[in-house]
Amino acid sequence: MNYRLFYDHVLSFDLSEVGRCILCHDPACSKACPKNVPAGDILRSLYFENYLGAAEKLGTADCMGCEAPCENACVLSSVAIPISIREILTNLNGSREQLPKRIIEEVDLSADICGIKLENPFLLSSSVVSSTYDMCRRAFEAGWAGASFKTICNFPQHEASPRFSAIRSHANSFCGFKNIEQLSDHSVEENMEIFRKLKEEFPAKVIVASIMGQNEDEWTSLAEKCEQAGASVIECNFSCPNMEASGLGVTIGQSEELIERFTRATKKGTNLPVLVKLTPNITDMVPMALAAKRCGADGISAINTINSITGVDIDTLVAQPAVQGKSIVGGYSGPAVKPIALRFISDMNGCEALKDLHLSGIGGIETWRDALEFILLGAGSVQITTAVMQYGYRIIDDLLKGLSEYMKCKGVPSLRALIGGAGSTVVDHQSIERDSIVFPVFDSERCIGCGRCYISCRDGGHQAITFDPKTRRPKLNGEKCVGCHLCRLVCRAGAIGTAKKAIRRP
């Protein structure tokens, strides 16, 4: 069984329950297990879609018949229904035969940024998660290949409090996250000392120096200082949405002329590879990337955060986050922005004139599957912030394990072979095939009779599904069905598949 089917069908119910897990630090459920099963770690691996890693952690343990002291220890037991840990682990144990099988045993996860070797493709993106020596040290020790350090500048920062807000999913995790945070509040020399110390202690890790100047001279001097202090790569922050003055942050990324001017100035100060971090707050990123290339940029980082207002407090009538009764437009990140980020990466990967530039993908990456999607659309490395803010550096374990196991099961020995692998499948509107229909197929045994497919098709589709109140089963009317597959998307039981063959429209 392939990865998608295993996710959609075998573990669909378990993953809904796993989604309730708090993902505790030092989980009490693991400590309570008399068989020393690391239940908390297994749940976390399942949460981040690392199924083979979860099964490996479970080992030969059989939880069936256990009195489940892990559930009594669950921190949710004092305020709600505890996670059904015994059932999840029992089902995982019973699903072993349906897990994807390895074709090869060894894979190479190494990548590079313009010839600068990365142990793996995962870096911290420029933000609070990579803003001090201690934070980067702990991330490097955990297994991250490198970090784009929080943007270094010569001018003082004046932060607001609070400065974060979030849009939450039904499981209460962030699906969208807003920040109004600015740049590094350390002096340039303090940051250079951090670079020197990190480079000395972690020579194999890649330090990406994110910089922002106020004029050409500052861009040049900052790049020069960062190289001398041990940076591996320079990243020009042409995209921060939270800078007030013109000629800074996002205003640069919206102007080809400013991109050219400051890219040229940065290249003047360094021999290191230079990445340009672009803003999604534009219609088309390709012209901006071409402007950067004309002046010597070696790669593009994309995307930075999206200008946003996440909501309004309906009691105080103040937009969020509220700072003494006021708010501002800020940068939106998290899983909700991933489709937008993938689109921009795909656009640049599809431009022949940009083929020789490195693409570093950013935006909504939480799992190894998210990262893989960026890689398949052309990214040679990926950067992550919001998921680390929510779950910690520890997510690197499942990122690495999940990606490596996928490659083993697919028989792909090198990560490099995956870069751009899906790029050619994104075509223009005139090139998509529109003359056939792929019908949905109902699995009556898996169907739980909820009727969600019927409601969605009736009120949001083409009224091609009827619902029998006696049998509580849906039925397809092929004469009305247009093959939109809305029914499949809303089915929580994984009970709707697709026909093996498409039919031609009359």
Closest CA to 155 of 249, 278, 29: 249
Overall pTM > 0.85: yes
- Which of 118-129 are b and which e, b meaning 16 or more Cβ less than 10 Å from the residue's Cβ? bbbbbbbbbbbb
Closest CA to 357 of 284, 274, 417: 274
Sign of CA dihedral 273, 303, 133, 182: positive
- Concerning whether 409 is annotated as a catalytic residue, the answer is no
Tell me what the mean pLDDT of segment 476-496 comes to: 93
Judge whether residue 5 has pLDDT over 60: no
Alpha helix segments (H runs only) across 60-123:
69-73, 85-94
Residue-wise pLDDT for 306-361, tens only, equals: 999 999 999 999 999 999 999 999 999 999 999 999 999 999 999 999 999 999 99
Q: For residue 501, give both structure tokens.
A: 């063959």
Q: For residue 44, give both structure tokens.
A: 């976390």
Please give the order of strands across the beta sheet that includes 330-333: 164-168, 174-179, 330-333, 306-308
Report the amino acid identity of residue 155: F
Taking the C-alpha atoms of residue 17 and residue 135, their distance in angstroms, rounded to an integer, is 32
Tell me what the mean pLDDT of segment 158-183 comes to: 87
Judge whether residue 253 has pLDDT over 70: yes
Sign of CA dihedral 192, 193, 197, 198: negative
User: Which of 120-124, 169-173, 417-421, 486-490 is predicted with the least confidence, judged by mean pLDDT?
Assistant: 169-173
Contact 162, 320 (CB under 8 A): no
Mean pLDDT for the chain overall: 94
CB atoms within 10 A of CB 318: 15
Radius of gyration of the chain (CA): 25
Q: Which helix H or strand E contains 4, and what residues bound it?
A: helix 3-5
Strand ranges, E, within 447-501: 465-468, 473-476, 496-498
Taking the C-alpha atoms of residue 337 and residue 382, their distance in angstroms, rounded to an integer, is 15
> Over pLDDT 90: what percentage of the chain?
86
Report the amino acid identity of residue 459: D
Contact 273, 287 (CB under 8 A): no
Q: Could you tell me the pLDDT band of residue 243, with boundaries at 50, 70 and 90? A: confident
pLDDT value of residue 195 = 98
Tell me what the mean pLDDT of segment 51-63 comes to: 93
Judge whether residue 1 has pLDDT over 50: no
> Between these two residues, 289 and 8, which has the higher pLDDT value?
289
> Over pLDDT 70: what percentage of the chain?
96
Taking CA atoms, 244 is separated from 237, 333, 414, in Å, by 14, 19, 44
Domains of the chain: 3-98 (1.10.1060.10), 111-425 (3.20.20.70), 433-504 (3.30.70.20)
Judge whether residue 257 has pLDDT over 50: yes
Taking the C-alpha atoms of residue 454 and residue 475, their distance in angstroms, rounded to an integer, is 9
Judge whether residue 12 has pLDDT over 80: no
Taking the C-alpha atoms of residue 415 and residue 433, their distance in angstroms, rounded to an integer, is 31
Closest CA to 195 of 154, 221, 228: 228
Residue-wise pLDDT for 73-96, tens only, equals: 999 998 889 999 999 999 888 888
- List 240, 453, 481, 491, catalytic entry: 240
